[in-house]
Structure 1
Amino acid sequence: MVQPAVNAYAKEGEPGNLYAQSAVLMDADSGRILFSKNGQTERANASTTKIMTCILALEYGSLDDVVTASEKASSQPKVHLGVTSGETFYLRDLLYSLMLESHNDAAVIIAESVGKSVEGFADMMNAKAKEIGCRNTYFITPNGLDAADDQGIHHTTAEDLARIMKYCIMDSPKKEMFLEITRTPNYQFTDCSGKRTYSCNNHNAFLQMMEGALSGKTGFTADAGYCYVGALKKDDRTFIVALLACGWPNNKTYKWADTKVLMNYGLENYTYRNIWQEADVGEITVHHGIDRKHPFNTTTKIKLTVAEEDKDWQMLLKDEEQVQMVWEAEKDVEAPVAKGQKCGRIEYLLDGDLLRSYDIVTVDAVKMKDTKWYIGTIFGRYFLQNP
């Protein structure tokens, strides 16, 4: 029996033995990577690709669209629905075919409908990947079959795959429909003519393995090996696991073992803690500004504050993890000063990485002492008060 590969980069207390060559655990709320084993290594990712195909179809297509199978779609290898060229379907039905049974022909029909061509749809996939922060992903096919062109092979990374799943379940305007489709145990439909009936069963066994399992997608090709991306929500915590190259035949169950190990690691070690810290950012000295109480002072002081305070900000952290707050602000400035003028920045850091930053701004405005002010003030004080 093949033993899990030791992760030489695992920190104390982290999962050290995993089958997957690349593995990631992500906090789906913040997008923070909580655990990574070769998480940025580019690898083929098989049918986990279809989560991107599904979310783009939901965002840019209509569930009631009638779509037609092409020769290209009908020639796709197994696993396939077995469509014939010219056969028509509702887009809604093919999304269940895509996500429950992982049908390769359904993916091509969807791509040609939404993107006008497989190549056009691949451009949409790559644009969306870049938009949501994926930097090491390149899609060629809508179904994840091993492919290559002059720009490289069809691939992603475990970290990027987790980012795509985060988008699908947390950020997309179509996230609810995505979850509804991917959580459906089984589904039946016909082609538009009603002559052929199809049945789909959900092959995401993880949905029955752990309480709170939300969604997921399996994958396998000769180049990719077994792959998986899945999500779980429990006690307001949502975790995503992405696995690439998690064994080859006959290692089909390795992905489930790794997924449970990483999900349990998240559940056992990470809880929400309040992050916001009160900061007394003090005052700033304003030179040559108008001080109504002391008009002939050359300087005046105004208070500073932190803009857009988020006192309810919480984050998943281990017990030993501490968020550091640092801030820096200007000590003085020349008038005029506007209310809300930026004079510094406050940062929240975890292990040296920036989590968030906020502007430090002025509470009040200060006008500048100009010639008109001097003339008016001197005239009023020495002439009007001493007739």
Structure 2
Amino acid sequence: MKQCKKNLERLLGAVAAVMLCISSLLQVPVMADELKVYARAALLMDASNGRILYEENGYEKLPMASTTKIMTCILALEYIKEHETTVWEEPVEVSGHAASMPKVKLGVQKGDKFLLEDLLYSLMLESHNDTAVAIAEYIDGSVPAFAQRMNEKARSLGCRDTNFITPNGLDAEADGKTHETTAADLARIAAYALKNEDFRKIIGTRSYTFPELSGRRTFQVYNKDRFLDLMDGAIGIKTGFTGKAGYCFVGALERDKKTFVSVVLGSGWPPHKNWKWEDTKTLMEYGLSKYTEKCILQPYTYRPLPVEEGISAQAAIRLESGDREKELTMLLSAEDIVKVTRQYPQKLKAPVTEGTCIGYEKYFVNGQLWRSYKILTAESVDLRTYSYCLQQIFMLYF
């Protein structure tokens, strides 16, 4: 009898384990399409709103090589804006540490002085590692301090799986952590950077000449981003390569009122230098052909609700203010499913205060919450009290 009980317990345990596995499998999101890409991680984002349109291993933590410099550049641009009265008077002075960085490098020497803005072209057009460190040390005094700034910015953008250690993207480990990100986080950073017109100007520049401020040398840098010539509407953004990361590229494209950001990480190793371009083109063509701009707004009339124990029998309700048509215009494919829910009580109880949130109108795309709007009371209704009733009787008869 005991043996039967044990066998039954084992059987039930096995069934439970199988059901748990099936449940886990069912919860894994599956992309409707599978693109042929070489990259270990690939992702396409609608840059206008941050919606991910395609991803393959998009949330896997991986090294990102010199695509790191996107963050270095945008932080430097924001620093220039915040300190615009001093950056022109206080040039970047290169340290021995910055000058010692490995290739790819500008070839600066200890004591060289540059304008911060000039170094950003060296950083982004030719991906110079010595330039990145010089920028970091100028802004925060040291690489670790600047890395802290990078990580704080990443968190503020919603990047929870990113850890910066260096400003140039060289493979690194510190305090048990690795210099790494995900394709999803890197796309968020790139989409944010694209909102800065100075950033766009830099990554779209074909060549740039600038001096070392002593006048001893002049440098000319050239844009190495081949994607600029691969597709109409290409914007850039940044290539990268290290032994651990492989070939990486973050790209952007604007065409037909669509703005895409693509990310490929680990898109081959030597001699497959061109795979990153093929992968990027595949992602961009997928976005252009599959997605069109649509407004998912579903107009709805909110009728007044009855009010219990109020001096008025009902109270008007409304949605919170906002440009919903703009917020709900997005890129959709034929397979995308939009659902709208409206949750609010069918009656209210006095007293009612104007502007009180009583529910939400929610828009879901493929089961994921996209936008949520508060349903508010549009007027106040006082409680019907004994003194109020006496007052009404008095006014009626006297």
TM-score (norm 1): 0.91
Residues 157, 189 of structure 2: 8 Å contact kept? yes
Q: Counterpart in 1 of 2:325?
A: 311
The alignment's C-alpha RMSD in Å is 1.5
For residues 301 and 350 of structure 1, do their structure 2 counterparts lie closer, same or farther at Cα, with a shift above 3 Å needed? same
Q: Quick one: which amino acid aligns to residue 224 of structure 2?
A: H
After superposition, the C-alpha distances for 1:204-227 in whole angstroms (9 at most, x for unaligned) are 110111110112100000010000
**Following the alignment from structure 1 to structure 2, what is the Cα–Cα distance between the partners of residues 44 and 321?**
32
**Residue 45 of structure 2: which of 7, 26, 47 is its match?**
26
Q: Quick one: which amino acid aligns to residue 83 of structure 1?
A: V
Q: Counterpart in 1 of 2:19?
A: none
Q: Counterpart in 2 of 1:100?
A: 125
**Following the alignment from structure 2 to structure 1, what is the Cα–Cα distance between the partners of residues 152 and 294?**
35
**Residue 359 of structure 1: which of 374, 392, 395 is its match?**
374
Structure 1 position 319, deviation (Å): 2.1
2:316 match: secondary structure? strand
Q: Is 1:277 aligned to 2:290, yes or no?
A: no
Q: Is 1:323 aligned to 2:348, yes or no?
A: no
**Following the alignment from structure 2 to structure 1, what is the Cα–Cα distance between the partners of residues 145 and 216?**
31
**Following the alignment from structure 2 to structure 1, what is the Cα–Cα distance between the partners of residues 334 and 267?**
30
After superposition, the C-alpha distances for 1:157-186 in whole angstroms (9 at most, x for unaligned) are 11111010001003xxxx100000011001
Of the structure 1 ranges 368-377 and 155-164, higher mean CA displacement relative to structure 2 is found in 368-377
Q: Counterpart in 1 of 2:387?
A: 372
Q: Counterpart in 2 of 1:5?
A: none
Residues 15, 265 of structure 1: 8 Å contact kept? no
Identity of aligned residues (%): 46
Q: Quick one: which amino acid aligns to residue 311 of structure 1?
A: E
Residues 364, 371 of structure 2: 8 Å contact kept? yes
1:178 match: secondary structure? helix
Residues 284, 304 of structure 1: 8 Å contact kept? yes
Residues 289, 368 of structure 1: 8 Å contact kept? yes
Residues 67, 90 of structure 1: 8 Å contact kept? yes
Q: Is 1:60 aligned to 2:74, yes or no?
A: no
Of the structure 1 ranges 368-377 and 43-52, higher mean CA displacement relative to structure 2 is found in 368-377
**Following the alignment from structure 1 to structure 2, what is the Cα–Cα distance between the partners of residues 374 and 16?**
71
**Residue 46 of structure 1: which of 65, 72, 77 is its match?**
65
Residues 15, 261 of structure 1: 8 Å contact kept? no
**Following the alignment from structure 2 to structure 1, what is the Cα–Cα distance between the partners of residues 211 and 115?**
9
Unaligned runs of 5+ in 2: 1-28
After superposition, the C-alpha distances for 1:205-258 in whole angstroms (9 at most, x for unaligned) are 101111101121000000100000010000110000001111001010000000
Q: Counterpart in 1 of 2:165?
A: 140
Q: Counterpart in 2 of 1:122?
A: 147
Of the structure 1 ranges 209-218 and 58-67, higher mean CA displacement relative to structure 2 is found in 58-67
Of the structure 1 ranges 302-311 and 359-368, higher mean CA displacement relative to structure 2 is found in 302-311
The number of residues matched between the two structures is: 363
Q: Counterpart in 1 of 2:361?
A: 346
Residues 43, 263 of structure 2: 8 Å contact kept? yes
Q: Quick one: which amino acid aligns to residue 57 of structure 1?
A: A
Residues 305, 348 of structure 2: 8 Å contact kept? yes
Between structures 1 and 2, the one with greater helix share: 2
Q: Quick one: which amino acid aligns to residue 172 of structure 2?
A: A
**Following the alignment from structure 1 to structure 2, what is the Cα–Cα distance between the partners of residues 91 and 76?**
18
Q: Quick one: which amino acid aligns to residue 32 of structure 1?
A: R
2:352 match: secondary structure? coil
Structure 1 position 10, deviation (Å): 6.7
After superposition, the C-alpha distances for 1:47-82 in whole angstroms (9 at most, x for unaligned) are 000000000000013463410000110100000011
Mapping of residues 195-234 of structure 1, within 5 Å: 195-234=216-255
**Following the alignment from structure 1 to structure 2, what is the Cα–Cα distance between the partners of residues 280 and 133?**
35
1:346 match: secondary structure? strand
Q: Counterpart in 1 of 2:175?
A: 150
Residues 15, 262 of structure 1: 8 Å contact kept? no
2:325 match: secondary structure? coil
Structure 1 position 283, deviation (Å): 2.9
After superposition, the C-alpha distances for 1:107-162 in whole angstroms (9 at most, x for unaligned) are 00000011221111000000000000101000000000000011411000111110
Of the structure 1 ranges 306-315 and 82-91, higher mean CA displacement relative to structure 2 is found in 306-315
Q: Quick one: which amino acid aligns to residue 52 of structure 1?
A: M
